[in-house]
């Protein structure tokens, strides 16, 4: 039968009776459930609470802790009665509530305390996803305990194991451990310890199944009240021999009687948080023993010690952190809307302070979870419990080998080692996870560096704990003292074993620490806003062609027009009969005058056409080549014109580091880099005049230097600011800020590496692992994930230069060659056609080829007329033939051309 003792204690122990009225009265409440007939050698939770308050009242003279108690039986309706008891404490003005111990009742009390702004203290393992601001749990968090458990498993290098659990809470405690074992490739069998209805539970059935399975490695998670019986029955079925290994997860293994198993040679290992060699343990235990002489120190449970520590911490905070005289207690109740003024203040002070108590260092992380505590790894030997190592969050598991064992380890192996890895919240290397739930430890972070360390740990088998550098300083050497700051200094001074972020490998840093092989290669470049748009020029329509193209186009137009005029006069077919009805006209005309030739060419160029139409094959060939030329040129111009009219011209302030230095004063460009970073150090001491100017500017303008790359990106995005940073970081930012771009190439060639202390033995191992990740493409996959996919990546993939270049002669020179070739062919054909025409005239009119050629030449050279005499045969009498006018030019009777009077354009029109 269990009974609940609900106690709110009134303890008034003034140091001096005359000062009793000056002491501020503070009410503390506690809800405790204790079994009946408690052994006098064991300290109950209620007694521990009472002793702790007694010690506090004796220590502080300006405050006394007072309360009222009542009893209740929660056998039938525990959670409901817990609510009533919690409200009773609230009504009696309790400022802090301790307990209860039952897991199903904690959430109810937690919600009441959170609603009334009261501090709620818990000293047991809980599994709850609720986020209550008021709760303070002094028990080590499940995630950290799981890390400790897993470190022990990896130390023993278990490949298979069987887990014995007792109830649902036990299964919850082991859930994360089972997942870690599964990911590590460990084969796990899970069995529940059978608990019958008898006074003595029967576990032998389950334990016999384990014997028949051939399993040698076991994990036991159960209540401390059941553990001794489980081990006894395991011994009865033959499991307590040198062939079997047991790991006990309960933190109170040392409190039970282990003498029956000391000589069994079974390997029984456990962990504890209560170190009997702790100085504070002996101080507090001595004070308790003075009031309870029969108390057995070896039987003090972890939760009892945590309760004493919790009371001590709470009373310290109230006495030292709060202004006792100015405190005004608000009368509140569960049924009133009023809340306490000091509950959250107490909780916040506890979460942000550090204390040394019976259970060691008491410290909380940002989420109010107890962190930075030490656990002892203990082992049962023939001499009893023996400490074989320690585990903490920073150093991991550190084992002290037995002297009689000859352990040979590979000095280069990282397996089972634990590293403290320092980093800073810099995108995308380390970032806080975007998660609505409460996360702890390494689970709080994500990013490229986080994934890289995880991959290395998977390859080499080591453990790690991340430490955050709040000021984000990579490290800088003090020129006066020679001391290093930032993460480099933390590695040198042993605060961390490894440092990883955008940490550049430099010669100066390599003198202080060692680096692995670079996991990323890069160089310094410039990040700034993209060029602005300039107003379009007046002759923007001419932008599709370069100037030399326009000149060649004009020359081609003139050449083709003259070609039409010349070839038209030479080609016989172009000399046509002005009067089609007259079979033998007095004269012929030519349509390709000089003006008509230019007009025909420009009409074709404008794709409008004219009434003129070439007749002869040579002129038609020239026309065809000209049309082909015009087709290509007009199509090219039209296609480029659309792009040029759509794209506005840009105003570029600078293009690279040289033009930046030349123009920064004239155009008001500011420059900067990350303060005390490798980029700033790059410009110092350089012989280049350009770099000297930049270094001088940075020294004279400290306001333009930024403490974080994010600040530099913001300046570059808002102002005329050139930010020097690593190219890989520029690539990351330009994926997310589409108004920014990189200017110029890389100013140097370097890499990011993982820093460690000088002459570290694990440098080679980590470097080799990084090279393996590079060769397998895993590093490229990680980079692609964090640069282009997650956290807004991939927004500016089409941010390249879209400007269309002007077409120069090389782009269209083929068109010119085709036109020139066609014109040359036309010239050859015109002379061939002229030869055939002269041969025909010579045979028809019985004249010599030379005479016919002279007549054609006279007509050709008469540029003042577009007519020439038609060829006629002369009559035998020497008179003119019909229709002939004028005198004959030949008295020999040979055929000749008739005299043609001068005909004007008006005459032809008539």
> Using DSSP, how many helices (H) and how many strands (E) does the chain show?
26, 38
Rounded Cα–Cα distance for residues 743 and 658 (Å): 11
* H-helix or E-strand spanning residue 528: strand 524-529
Angle, CA of 348, 353 and 359, to the nearest 5°:
115
H or E stretch at 272: strand 267-272
Phi-psi region of 238 (alpha: psi -120 to 50; beta: other; left: phi over 0): left
DSSP one-letter string for 404-441: T------TT--TT-EEEEEE---TTTSEE---SS---G
Q: What is the DSSP string of 451-500?
A: HHHHHHHHHH--EEEEEE-TT-----B-TTT--B-HHHHHHHTTS-SEE-
CA distance linking residue 355 with residue 600, whole number of Å: 102
Assigned token pair, 754 = 């993982």
Determine the angle formed by the axes of helices 279-291 and 45-59, rounding to 10 degrees.
100
pLDDT at 195: 57
Distance CA 384, CA 257 (A): 10
The lowest-confidence range among 101-105, 170-174, 651-655, 735-739 is 651-655
When pLDDT is cut at 50, 70 and 90, the band that residue 500 belongs to is very high
Mean pLDDT of 160-165: 93
894: confidence class by pLDDT, cuts 50, 70, 90: very low
Give the SS3 label for residue 642. helix
Q: Which residues contact 72 (CB under 8 A, 6 or more apart)?
A: 4, 6, 81, 84, 85
3-state SS assignment for residue 250 = coil
- What mean pLDDT do residues 563-588 have? 82
Residue 533 pLDDT level (bands cut at 50, 70, 90): low
**pLDDT tens per residue, range 585-614:** 788 888 888 888 888 888 888 777 777 888
Predicted confidence at residue 773, as pLDDT, reads 86
The pLDDT-based confidence of 498 (bands split at 50, 70, 90) is very high
Beta-sheet pairing, 750-752 with 498-499 = unpaired
What's the pLDDT at 815?
Answer: 62
Question: How many CA atoms lie within 13 Å of 65's alpha carbon, on the beta-carbon side?
Answer: 28
The pLDDT of residue 885 is above 60: no
Please answer whether residues 546 and 792 qualify as being in contact, where contact means their C-beta atoms are separated by less than 8 angstroms: no
Q: How far apart are CA 393 and CA 146, in angstroms?
A: 12
Helix axes 657-667, 689-700, angle to 10 degrees: 40
Out of 3.50.50.60, 3.40.190.10, 3.40.50.720, 3.40.50.1980, select the CATH number for domain 418-522+752-789: 3.40.190.10
Instruction: Tell me how far apart the alpha carbons of residues 605 and 826 are, in angstroms, rounded to a whole number.
Output: 19
How many of the other CB atoms lie within 10 Å of CB of 71? 10
Torsion of CA 480, 485, 490, 494, to 10 degrees: 10
* Res 874 pLDDT > 60: no
Residue, of 710 and 489, whose pLDDT is higher: 489
Is it the case that residue 755 has pLDDT exceeding 90?
A: yes
| Cα separation, 563 vs 576, whole angstroms | 19
Tokens of 148: 């400790």
pLDDT for position 1: 35
Helix axes 809-845, 849-861, angle to 10 degrees: 130
Where does CATH 3.40.190.10 sit in the chain? 418-522+752-789, 652-748
Q: Is 220 helix (H, G, I), strand (E, B) or coil?
A: strand
Q: In which residue are the tokens 């069998």 written?
A: 189
C-beta of residue 188 within 8 angstroms of C-beta of residue 213: no
Q: For residues 578 and 861, is the Cβ–Cβ distance under 8 A?
A: no
Which contiguous run of DSSP H or E holds residue 32? strand 24-34
- Which secondary-structure segment (H or E) carries 64? strand 63-66
Q: Is 360 left (phi over 0), alpha (psi -120 to 50) or beta?
A: left
In angstroms, the CA 146 to CA 137 distance is 17
Q: At 264, is the secondary structure helix, strand, or coil?
A: coil
What's the burial of 161, exposed, middle or buried (CB within 10 Å: 0-12/13-18/19+)?
Answer: buried
Q: Are 101 and 302 in contact (CB under 8 A)?
A: no
Q: What is the pLDDT of residue 457?
A: 87
Reported in sequence order, the residue ranges of 642-776 that DSSP labels E, i.e. its strands, are: 650-651, 670-672, 721-726, 740-743, 750-752, 755-756
Q: pLDDT-derived band of residue 754, with 50, 70 and 90 as boundaries?
A: very high
- Rounded to a whole number of angstroms, the CA Rg of the chain reads 50
* Distance, CA of 390 to CA of 400 (rounded, Å): 9
- CA 616 to each of CA 284, 574, 592, 823, 833: distance values in angstroms, whole numbers, following the listed order: 124, 6, 12, 14, 9
The answer for residues whose C-beta is within 8 angstroms of residue 295's C-beta and 6 or more apart is: 41, 42, 43, 285, 288, 289
Sheet harboring 575-576: ordered strands across?
A: 575-576, 587-590, 867-869
As its CATH architecture, domain 142-272+374-399 has 3-Layer(aba) Sandwich (3.40)
- Pair 892, 873: CB distance under 8 Å: no
Please, are residues 886 and 899 in contact by the beta-carbon 8 Å criterion?
Answer: yes
Q: Are 301 and 250 in contact (CB under 8 A)?
A: no
> Does 415 score more than 70 pLDDT?
yes
Q: How confident is the model at residue 661 (pLDDT cuts 50, 70, 90)?
A: confident
Q: pLDDT per residue over 62-93, tens digit each? A: 788 765 554 545 454 567 777 888 888 888 88
pLDDT tens per residue across span 436-465: 777 777 888 899 999 999 999 888 888 888
Sort strands 524-529 and 532-533 into parallel, antiparallel or unpaired: unpaired
Structural element, H or E, at residue 163: strand 160-165
**Helix intervals (H) in 237-359:** 279-291, 302-320, 343-351
Q: What is the mean pLDDT of residues 298-316?
A: 89
What's the rounded Cα separation, in Å, for the pair 870 and 576?
10
Could you name the CATH architecture of 652-748? Answer: 3-Layer(aba) Sandwich (3.40)
Asked whether residue 618 carries a pLDDT value surpassing 90, the answer given is no
Coil vs helix vs strand at 656: coil
So what's the pLDDT on residue 899?
Answer: 39
pLDDT at 235: 85
> Is residue 218 predicted with pLDDT exceeding 90?
yes
**Domain(s) of CATH 3.40.50.2300: residues in the chain:** 3-139+300-356, 142-272+374-399
How many other C-beta atoms are found inside a 10 Å radius of the C-beta of residue 428? 24
Helices (H), 352-442: none
Write down the pTM of the prediction: 0.47
Query: Residue 164 has what DSSP assignment?
Result: E
**Which pair of tokens denotes residue 124?**
């047991």
pLDDT tens per residue across span 29-61:
888 776 544 567 778 888 888 888 888 888 887
- What's residue 830's pLDDT? 84
The pLDDT of residue 718? 85
Instruction: Give the HSE-up count for residue 239: Cα atoms under 13 Å, Cβ half-sphere.
Output: 30
Tell me which of 149 and 126 has the higher pLDDT. 149
Helix crossing, 547-570 with 809-845: angle to 10°? 0
CA angle 758, 763, 765 (to 5 degrees): 165
Integer Cα distance of 94 and 29 in angstroms: 6
pLDDT, position 640: 79
Sign of CA dihedral 47, 52, 55, 57: negative
More confident residue, 72 or 309: 309
Cβ neighbours around 193 below 10 Å, total: 22
Which residue(s) pair with 219 in the sheet?
Answer: 163, 247
Q: How far apart are CA 99 and CA 162, in angstroms?
A: 34
More confident residue, 813 or 17: 813
Residue 892: pLDDT over 70: no
Mean pLDDT, residues 167-174 taken together:
88
Q: Is the pLDDT of residue 184 over 80?
A: yes
CA gap 295, 174 in Å, rounded: 33
Residue 15 in this model has a pLDDT that exceeds 50: no
Topology (CATH) of 3-139+300-356? Rossmann fold (3.40.50)
- Identify the pLDDT of residue 582: 77
Cβ atoms < 10 Å from Cβ of 442: 18
Predicted confidence (pLDDT) at residue 881 exceeds the cutoff of 50: no
Dist CA 222 CA 586 (whole Å): 131
Could you check whether the bond before residue 428 is cis, i.e. omega within 30 degrees of 0?
A: yes
Query: What's the whole-number average pLDDT of the chain?
Result: 80
pLDDT reported for residue 160: 92
Would you give the end-to-end CA distance of the chain in angstroms?
139
Paired tokens of 803: 């400007």
Confidence of residue 5 (pLDDT cuts 50, 70, 90): very low
Residue, of 18 and 700, whose pLDDT is higher: 700
Q: Which of 63-72, 190-199, 802-811 has the lowest average pLDDT?
A: 802-811
Position 354 pLDDT exceeds 80: yes
Q: Does position 300 have pLDDT exceeding 50, yes or no?
A: yes
Would you say 753 and 521 are in contact if contact means Cβ atoms under 8 Å apart?
Answer: no
Q: Over 60: is that where the pLDDT of 813 sits?
A: yes
Query: Among 286-290, 595-599, 723-727, which is the least confidently predicted range?
Result: 286-290
């Amino acid at each position: 039968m269990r009974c609940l003792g609900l106690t709110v204690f009134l303890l008034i122990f003034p140091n001096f009776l005359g000062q009793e009225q000056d002491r501020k009265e503070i009410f503390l409440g506690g809800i405790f459930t204790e079994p009946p007939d408690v052994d006098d050698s064991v300290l109950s939770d209620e007694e521990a609470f009472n002793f702790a308050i007694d010690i506090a009242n004796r220590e502080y003279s300006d405050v006394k802790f007072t309360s009222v108690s009542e009893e209740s039986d929660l056998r039938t309706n525990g959670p409901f009665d817990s609510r009533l008891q919690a409200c009773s404490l609230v009504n009696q003005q309790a400022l802090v509530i301790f307990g209860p111990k039952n897991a199903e009742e904690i959430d109810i009390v937690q919600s009441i305390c959170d609603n009334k702004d009261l501090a709620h203290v818990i000293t047991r393992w809980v599994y709850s996803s609720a986020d209550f601001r008021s709760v303070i749990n002094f028990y080590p968090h499940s995630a950290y305990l799981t890390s400790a458990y897993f470190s022990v498993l990896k130390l023993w290098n278990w490949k298979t194991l069987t887990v014995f659990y007792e109830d649902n809470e036990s299964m919850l405690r082991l859930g994360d451990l089972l997942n870690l074992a599964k990911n590590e490739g460990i084969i796990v069998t899970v069995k529940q310890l059978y608990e019958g209805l008898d006074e003595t539970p029967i576990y032998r059935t389950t334990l016999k199944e384990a014997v028949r399975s051939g399993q040698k490695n076991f994990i036991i998670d159960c209540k401390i009240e059941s553990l001794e019986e489980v081990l006894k029955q395991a011994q009865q079925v033959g499991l307590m021999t040198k062939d079997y290994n047991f790991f006990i997860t309960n933190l109170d293994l040392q409190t039970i009687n282990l003498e029956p198993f000391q000589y069994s040679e079974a390997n029984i290992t456990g962990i504890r948080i209560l170190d009997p060699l702790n100085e504070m343990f002996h101080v507090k235990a001595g004070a308790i023993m003075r009031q309870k002489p029969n108390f057995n120190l070896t039987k003090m449970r972890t939760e009892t010690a945590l309760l004493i520590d919790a009371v001590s911490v709470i009373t310290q905070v109230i006495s030292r952190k709060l202004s006792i005289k100015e405190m005004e207690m608000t009368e509140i109740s569960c049924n009133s809307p009023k809340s306490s003024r000091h509950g959250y203040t107490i909780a916040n002070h506890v979460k942000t302070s550090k204390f040394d108590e019976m259970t060691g260092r008491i410290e909380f992380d940002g989420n109010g979870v107890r962190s930075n505590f030490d656990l002892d790894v203990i082992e049962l030997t023939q001499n009893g419990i023996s400490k074989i190592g320690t585990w903490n969050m920073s150093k991991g598991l550190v084992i002290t080998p037995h002297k009689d064992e000859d352990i040979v380890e590979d000095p280069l192996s990282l397996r089972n080692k634990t590293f403290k890895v320092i980093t800073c919240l810099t995108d995308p290397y380390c970032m806080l996870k975007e998660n609505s739930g409460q996360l702890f430890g390494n689970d709080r972070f994500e990013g490229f560096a986080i994934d890289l360390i995880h991959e290395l740990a998977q390859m080499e088998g080591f453990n790690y704990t991340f430490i955050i550098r709040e000021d984000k300083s990579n490290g800088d050497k003090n020129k006066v003292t020679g001391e290093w700051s930032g993460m480099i200094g933390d590695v040198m001074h042993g605060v961390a074993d490894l440092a990883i972020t955008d940490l550049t490998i430099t010669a100066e840093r390599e003198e202080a620490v060692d680096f692995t092989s670079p996991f990323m290669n890069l160089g310094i470049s410039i990040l700034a806003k993209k060029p602005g748009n300039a107003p379009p020029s007046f002759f923007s329509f001419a932008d599709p062609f370069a100037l030399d193209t326009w000149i060649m186009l004009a020359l081609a137009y003139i050449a083709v027009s003259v070609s039409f005029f010349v070839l038209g006069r030479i080609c016989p077919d172009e000399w046509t009969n002005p009067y089609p009805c007259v079979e033998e006209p007095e004269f012929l005309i030519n349509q390709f005058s000089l003006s008509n030739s230019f007009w025909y060419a420009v009409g074709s160029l404008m794709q409008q056409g004219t009434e003129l139409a070439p007749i002869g094959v040579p002129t038609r060939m020239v026309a065809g080549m000209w049309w082909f030329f015009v087709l290509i040129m007009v199509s090219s111009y039209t296609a480029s014109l659309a792009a040029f009219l759509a794209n506005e011209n840009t105003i570029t302030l600078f293009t690279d580091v040289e033009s930046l230095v030349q123009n920064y004063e004239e155009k008001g460009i500011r420059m900067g880099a990350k303060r005390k970073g490798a980029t700033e150090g790059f410009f110092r001491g350089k012989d280049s005049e350009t770099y000297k100017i930049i270094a001088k500017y940075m020294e004279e303008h400290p306001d333009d230097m930024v403490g974080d790359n994010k600040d530099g990106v913001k300046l570059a995005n808002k102002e005329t600011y050139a930010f020097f940073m690593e190219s890989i970081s520029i690539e990351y930012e330009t994926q997310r800020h589409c108004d920014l771009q990189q200017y110029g190439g890389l100013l140097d060639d370097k890499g990011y590496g993982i820093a460690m202390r000088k002459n570290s033995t694990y440098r080679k191992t980590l470097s080799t692992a990084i090279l393996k990740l590079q060769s397998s493409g895993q590093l490229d996959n990680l980079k692609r994930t964090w640069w282009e996919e997650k956290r807004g990546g991939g927004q500016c993939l089409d941010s390249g230069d879209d400007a269309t270049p002007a077409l120069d002669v090389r782009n269209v020179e083929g068109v010119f060659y085709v036109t020139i070739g066609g014109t040359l062919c036309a010239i050859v054909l015109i002379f061939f056609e002229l030869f055939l025409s002269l041969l025909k005239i010579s045979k028809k009119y019985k004249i010599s080829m030379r005479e016919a050629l002279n007549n054609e030449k006279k007509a050709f050279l008469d540029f003042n007329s577009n007519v020439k005499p038609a060829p006629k045969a002369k009559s035998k009498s020497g008179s003119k033939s019909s229709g002939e006018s004028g005198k004959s030019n030949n008295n020999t009777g040979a055929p000749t051309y008739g005299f043609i009077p001068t005909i004007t354009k008006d005459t032809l029109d008539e």
